[in-house]
Amino acid sequence: MATKKQKNSKVDDVIQEIGIESQEKKGKTETAAEQIKEEVNQNSKKEEFSLRDLPGVGSKMADTLKEHGFHTPMSIAMASVSSLEALDGISELTAGRIIDAAKEHLDMGIKTANEFMKDHATRGFLTTNSKALDQMMGGGIEQGVLTEFFGDFGSGKTQIAEECAVTVQLLLDRGGLNGKCIYVDAEGSFRPERIKQMAVALGLDPNKVLENIFVARAYNIDFQLAFNSKIREMIDVQHEPIKLVVIDSLTTHFRSEYTGRGTLADRQQTLNKYLHELIIYAEQYGLVIIGTNQVMANPGMMFGDPTTPIGGHILGHASKYRVYLRKGREGKRVAKLIDAPHLPDAEVVFMVDETGVHDFDEKNKK
């Protein structure tokens, strides 16, 4: 059996070959590439220095931490003891100590409610390109939290995810976040041609738009879990202005790779840890995180729509917003907001057609 370390480095190799890669990398001169490499080198030297500022972190431990996606004191401060003690050569005691030291190093105390409000007030929203859908969600898809779109096959989950991979690149005054996207594709449904259609509809250069979407094809659960530490690396080390992370879908591999009741607890625990990490990234980096999810038939439900999102309570608690999508006629889609803590449950209609996601009314006026 492969050890954890071997397994991880194997996954890493494949990620480098086929994984997180800009869709269109042409046009960079060798000198520019060299410059970027040099910059990254400089930066990682700096990061290592700051990691090693933490008492008890030597070069070996710094390497181990970096290998697992912890590049900065901030990433350590936000980590849980269980996620660090799982690494080679780090005991529970050490994990606790370096987390505390990192918090102290960063002067992170308990925030007053006012400070908390101030931090959160700066959070923005990302447009879905449908005003109705944005309005239902309080102004768009909120930064700093996980938003889940669930629904049947063909209900529009991937369409919304792809549209947002485009809109995130718009400037703030157009509802964008002027940033880039990491798109974790667990189902093989990402379509660059579709992105191009959506980009053109918004008046953007389709090739530039593709260049700003880093697609990571998650063939199995190991890939999907490994990509989580790549998110940190792309932001902390490569300094990519990532503002959106898409996971399409969150649950496919969790469902197919853990079958039978015996491993249900295992599955829920891994899913829980995975989602927890995502939530921390969202909060720490002000990311919009969109996760999609399938539904399963719920035979116990006699009335209403007999479908339930996969992932149970764990996903329910992790997502601040859950939106249920249904397919209507002629490209119409119905979106229903469920259990948002500060917004009423509501339902709106939007459209999916060749130009992407947009309002139903707007199309009707034409």
Ligand X SMILES: Nc1ncnc2c1ncn2[C@@H]1O[C@H](COP(=O)(O)OP(=O)(O)O)[C@@H](O)[C@H]1O
Closest to ligand X by CB, 194 vs 358, is 194
SS3 readout for the chain: CCCHHHHHHHHHHHHHHHCCEECCCCCCCHHHHHHHHHHHHHHHHHHHHHHHCCCCCCHHHHHHHHHCCCCCHHHHHCCCHHHHHCCCCCCHHHHHHHHHHHHHHCCCCCCCHHHHHHHHHCCCEECCCCHHHHHHCCCCEECCCEEEEEECCCCCHHHHHHHHHHHCCCCHHHCCCCCEEEEEECCCCCCHHHHHHHHHHCCCCHHHHHHCEEEEECCCHHHHHHHHHHHHHHHHCCCCCEEEEEEECCCHHHHHHCCCHHHHHHHHHHHHHHHHHHHHHHHHHCCEEEEEECEEECCCCCCCCCEEECCHHHHHHHCCEEEEEEECCCCEEEEEEECCCCCCCEEEEEEEECCEEEEHHHHHHC
Least separation in angstroms between residue 259's CB and ligand X is 22
Tokens of residue 75, six digits: 């990433």
Q: How far apart are CA 17 and CA 334, in angstroms?
A: 39
CB of 143 to ligand X, least distance (A): 23
Q: Which of 72, 130, 158, 169 binds Mg ion (CB under 5 A)?
A: 158
Q: Does residue number 143 form part of the binding site for Mg ion (CB under 5 A)? A: no
Residue selected from 23, 50, 80, 189 as contacting Mg ion according to rule CB under 5 A: 189
Q: Is 352 in the site for ligand X (CB under 6 A)?
A: yes
Q: Which of 66, 157, 180, 230 binds ligand X (CB under 6 A)?
A: 157
Contact between 147 and ligand X per CB under 6 A: no
293 sits near Mg ion (criterion: CB under 5 A): no
Site mask, ligand X, residues 48-77, x = CB under 6 A? ------------------------------
If one asks whether residue 316 binds ligand X (CB under 6 A), the answer comes out as: no
Closer residue to Mg ion (CB): 57 or 186:
186
Single out the residue of 96, 154, 306, 316 in contact with ligand X (rule: CB under 6 A).
154
User: Given the rule CB under 5 A, which of 11-19, 154-162, 196-204, 205-213 is the region that contacts Mg ion?
Assistant: 154-162
Q: Is 96 in the site for ligand X (CB under 6 A)?
A: no
Q: Out of Mg ion, ligand X, none, which partner does residue 153 contact, by CB within 5 to 8 A per kind?
A: ligand X
Q: Residue 155 binds which entry of Mg ion, ligand X, none, with Cβ cut-offs from 5 to 8 Å by kind?
A: ligand X
Stretch of residues binding ligand X (CB under 6 A), selected from 74-82, 221-229, 264-272, 350-358? 350-358
Binding partner of 354, given ligand X, Mg ion, none, CB within 5-8 angstroms per partner class? ligand X
Report if residue 251 touches ligand X, rule: CB under 6 A. no
Q: Which residues bind ligand X (CB under 6 A)?
A: 151, 153-159, 194, 352-354
Q: Which residues bind Mg ion (CB under 5 A)?
A: 157-158, 189
